[in-house]
C-alpha cells in the first residue's frame, strides 16, 4: 500500500487509464496548463500532450457537447467541471443526449463518457456554489452516479467509471482533495454499484456517502463510548444503488439512519427510506431517520452554514432516537 492524497488518486486513475487506452482524453477548464483547478490533473499535460489534455473556454454546454459527440464516435472522454454547480449550464447535454442516446438510437450509439468534478458545499462559497445534485442525476435513467469518500475508493471507482460503456457522473469534493489514504500499489478497480461496510456494528445501521460520511465516523466513535455499536455503510455508488447491502444490514440491526448532504425533499435518503420500508418493514424496530441540510439555499455566514449542515451531533441524536434512548 502507499499513501496518496485524494487529488493524487484521481490523477493516478486517469493517467493509468490513458496509458492503457489512447481513446481516453481529459477536457475541462484549467485541466492542462494549470494542472487542474484543484491540481487533480497535475503532470498530465506534460505526459500526454495538448491533444489529450485540453483546456477549454468557460463554456460547459459547449465542451460537454463536444465530449458527448466524441464519445458517440469511439472516444472515451473525461469531462471535468470545476464544480457540478457549473454543470447546470451543460445539463442539457448530460440529460438529453448522453443519458438517452443509446435508447434513442436503438443501440446504434453508446456514450462512454465520465463527467467529474466536486459536488456539495465546501465552506463559504454561498448558495450557488454549494449545491449537491447527486439525486438530480440519479433520477435520470441512463446515468450512473458515483460519490467516493476516500482516495482508495476514488481511484478504483474512477477507473471502473472510465471503462464503463455508459455515461457516469463522478462526484468529488473540494474539501476532500487534500485527504490522505492508503491505496494499493498495483492495478485494481472497484465495481460500480457495490456499497462498502466501513464499520461493522449491531445496534443501528448508518448509510451515507461522500465527504459527509466523516460525520458518521465521528458519531460512531462517540456512541461506542456509551456501548452503542454502529454499522456504517458507504454507498459509494448512488446509482445503481446497492440495496442488498442496506437491507442485509437493516435486517441485522433493525434500525436505520441515513446521512446525506442534500436538501431534504426527494433526495437519495428518501429513496433509501422507501426501499427499506417496502422490503424490510417487518425488521424495523423504529422509524427510519434521515438527516439532511436545512431546506434553504446554503448560507454564506459561517455560523449559519454550520447550522445548515448535518453534523456528528445530529447523527448521535438520530441514533439515540431510533434506539429510544
Active site residues: 60, 129
Alpha-carbon span 77 to 31, nearest angstrom: 13
Return the closest-CA partner of residue 140 out of 92, 182, 86: 92
Question: How do beta strands 168-172 and 144-146 pair?
Answer: parallel
Helix (H, G, I), strand (E, B) or coil at 10: helix
- φ/ψ of 179, rounded to 5, equals -65, 140
Containing H/E element for 290? strand 289-291
176 three-class SS: helix
Place of cell 481513446: 23
Rg (CA), the chain: 20
Between CA 84 and CA 207 the distance in angstroms is 23
Amino acid at each position: 500500500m502507499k499513501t496518496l492524497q485524494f487529488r493524487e488518486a484521481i490523477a493516478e486513475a486517469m493517467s493509468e487509464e490513458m496509458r492503457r487506452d489512447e481513446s481516453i482524453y481529459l477536457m475541462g477548464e484549467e485541466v492542462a496548463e494549470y494542472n487542474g483547478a484543484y491540481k487533480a490533473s497535475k503532470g498530465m499535460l506534460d505526459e500526454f500532450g495538448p491533444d489529450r489534455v485540453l483546456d477549454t473556454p468557460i463554456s460547459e454546454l459547449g465542451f460537454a457537447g463536444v465530449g458527448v459527440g466524441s464519445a458517440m464516435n469511439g472516444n472515451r472522454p473525461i469531462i471535468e467541471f470545476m464544480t457540478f454547480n457549473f454543470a447546470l449550464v451543460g445539463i442539457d447535454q448530460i440529460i438529453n443526449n448522453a443519458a438517452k442516446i443509446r435508447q434513442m438510437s436503438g443501440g446504434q450509439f453508446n456514450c462512454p463518457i465520465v463527467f467529474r468534478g466536486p459536488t456539495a458545499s465546501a465552506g463559504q462559497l454561498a448558495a450557488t456554489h454549494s449545491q449537491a445534485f447527486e439525486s438530480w442525476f440519479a433520477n435520470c435513467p441512463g446515468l450512473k452516479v458515483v460519490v467516493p469518500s476516500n482516495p482508495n475508493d476514488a481511484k478504483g471507482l474512477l477507473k471502473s467509471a472510465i471503462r464503463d460503456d455508459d455515461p457516469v457522473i463522478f462526484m468529488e469534493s473540494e474539501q476532500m482533495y487534500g485527504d490522505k489514504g492508503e491505496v494499493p500499489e498495483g492495478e485494481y478497480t472497484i465495481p460500480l454499484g457495490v456499497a462498502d461496510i466501513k464499520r461493522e456494528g449491531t445496534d443501528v445501521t448508518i448509510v451515507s456517502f461522500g465527504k459527509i460520511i466523516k460525520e458518521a465516523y465521528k458519531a460512531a466513535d462517540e456512541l461506542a463510548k456509551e456501548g452503542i455499536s454502529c454499522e456504517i455503510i458507504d454507498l459509494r455508488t448512488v446509482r445503481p444503488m446497492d440495496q442488498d447491502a442496506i437491507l442485509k444490514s437493516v435486517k441485522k440491526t433493525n434500525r436505520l439512519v441515513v446521512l446525506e448532504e442534500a436538501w431534504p425533499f426527494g433526495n437519495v435518503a428518501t429513496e433509501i427510506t422507501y426501499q427499506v420500508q417496502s422490503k424490510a418493514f417487518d425488521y424495523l424496530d423504529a422509524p427510519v431517520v434521515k438527516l439532511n441540510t436545512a431546506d434553504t439555499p446554503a448560507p454564506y455566514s459561517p455560523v449559519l452554514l454550520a447550522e445548515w449542515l448535518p453534523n456528528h451531533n445530529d447523527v448521535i441524536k438520530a441514533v439515540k432516537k431510533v434506539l429510544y434512548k
